[in-house]
């Protein structure tokens, strides 16, 4: 069996909030394999956002180990973390997080700018990614000229552009109606079929139902971790 994409050991994260110390993660252990489709669930305050931010290298743990692709990232500095975010992780956010003044094409290009690709190469790959999510005819549109579903497709195209090890989606359908939600979930299923590792953080059971594995957090620890038979 190959090494896991994500290996987390005794991960802890504490925040100082005034005099109080918030312990958001209290020792999480987790292994996620290549091409898994994982849903992370849990009530608010369960630590799922913190876990996602840590897995996404936006946040560093207070203690514990985090291995991404057999590289220990819990000890990396800011610049290296930026590099990991750029190459290994594709984010999809609830609020899309597109740059409002930039076109769809430029939004998708952004990660390539930070990985130092040449302009022509950037354009070619960004166009390719937008074609892949079915927005080949919307490249020059700005976010406010696109529907919610289309915006999230742009975000998915952006997440895919650097061929990341994992797609990390935080409530990806939270701002979408049920039909467009299905669209996006369908897109995730397609990507998963092509071999993509996907982690979705959600509190909606319908969305989690599409994943093959469901991890529930509670009070900063893993409460349950179960494989689903049918997908």
Partner 1 sequence: MPVFEAVRLALQVIWNQKMKSAFSVVGVFIGVTFLIAVVTIVEGMNNYMEDTFAGALLGVNTFGVRYRPSVNVGDTPREVWRSWRRRPRITFEDAEAVAAGLSVPVITAVESESNASVDYEGTTANNVRIIGASDSYFALKGWNIQEGRPFTEQEASFGTPVAVIGSELAEVLFGNSDPLGRTVRIRNFPYRVVGVVEKQGNVFGFSLDNFAVAPALSPVKRFVNPPRIVDALLVKAETDLLMRAAMAEAEAIMRRRRQLRPATDNNFELETSDGVLDFWSKISGVLLAAIPGLVSISLVVGGIVIMNIMLMSVSERTREIGIRKSLGARQRDIMRQFLVESATLSTVGAGLGIATGLGMAKLVAELSFLPASVAGWSIGAAVVLGMGVGITAGILPARKASRLDPVEAISQE
- Positions that interact with partner 1 (CB under 8 A): 53, 56, 58-59, 78-79, 82-83, 85-87, 91, 93, 97-99, 101, 110-111, 113-115, 119, 158, 162
Minimum CB distance to partner 1, residue 124 (Å): 16
DSSP summary character for residue 204: -
Dihedral sign for Cα atoms in the order 63, 64, 67, 68: negative
Q: Pick between residue 148 and residue 213 the one whose CB is nearest to partner 1.
A: 148
Q: Pick between residue 34 and residue 102 the one whose CB is nearest to partner 1.
A: 102
Partnered with residue 169 across adjacent β-strands are: 92, 200
Helix (H, G, I), strand (E, B) or coil at 172: coil
Q: Pick between residue 35 and residue 175 the one whose CB is nearest to partner 1.
A: 175
In degrees, rounded to 5, the angle at the alpha carbon of residue 20 between the alpha carbons of residues 19 and 24 is: 150
Q: Pick between residue 123 and residue 228 the one whose CB is nearest to partner 1.
A: 123
Minimum CB distance to partner 1, residue 137 (Å): 24
d(CA 124, CA 208): 34
Q: Pick between residue 82 and residue 231 the one whose CB is nearest to partner 1.
A: 82
Minimum CB distance to partner 1, residue 210 (Å): 24
Helix (H, G, I), strand (E, B) or coil at 212: coil
Helix (H, G, I), strand (E, B) or coil at 138: coil
How many alpha carbons fall within 13 Å on the CB side of residue 52?
29
Q: Pick between residue 52 and residue 210 the one whose CB is nearest to partner 1.
A: 52
The pair of structure tokens assigned to 81 is 């973390």
Minimum CB distance to partner 1, residue 177 (Å): 22
Minimum CB distance to partner 1, residue 228 (Å): 29
Minimum CB distance to partner 1, residue 110 (Å): 5
Task: Specify the pairing of strand 71-72 against strand 63-68.
Answer: antiparallel
d(CA 210, CA 136): 27
């Amino acid at each position: 069996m190959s090494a896991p994409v994500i290996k987390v050991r005794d991960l802890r994260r504490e925040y100082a909030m005034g005099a109080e110390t918030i312990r958001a993660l209290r020792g999480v252990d987790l292994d996620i394999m290549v091409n898994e489709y994982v849903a992370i669930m849990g009530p608010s305050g369960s630590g799922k956002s913190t876990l996602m931010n840590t897995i996404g290298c936006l946040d560093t743990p207070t203690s514990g180990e985090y291995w991404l692709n057999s590289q220990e990232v819990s000890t990396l500095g800011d610049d290296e973390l930026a590099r990991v975010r750029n190459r290994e992780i594709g984010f999809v956010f609830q609020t899309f997080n597109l740059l409002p003044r930039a076109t769809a094409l430029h939004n998708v290009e952004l990660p390539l700018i930070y990985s130092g690709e040449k302009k022509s190469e950037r354009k070619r790959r960004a166009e390719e990614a937008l074609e892949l999510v079915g927005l080949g005819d919307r490249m020059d549109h700005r976010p406010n000229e696109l529907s919610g579903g289309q915006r999230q497709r742009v975000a998915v195209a952006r997440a895919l552009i650097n061929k990341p090890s994992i797609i990390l989606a935080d409530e990806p359908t939270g701002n979408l109606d049920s039909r467009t939600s299905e669209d996006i979930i369908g897109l995730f299923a397609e990507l998963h079929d092509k071999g993509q590792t996907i982690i979705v953080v959600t509190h909606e059971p319908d969305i989690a139902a599409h994943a093959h594995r469901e991890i529930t957090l509670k009070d900063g620890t893993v409460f349950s971790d179960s494989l689903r038979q049918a997908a």
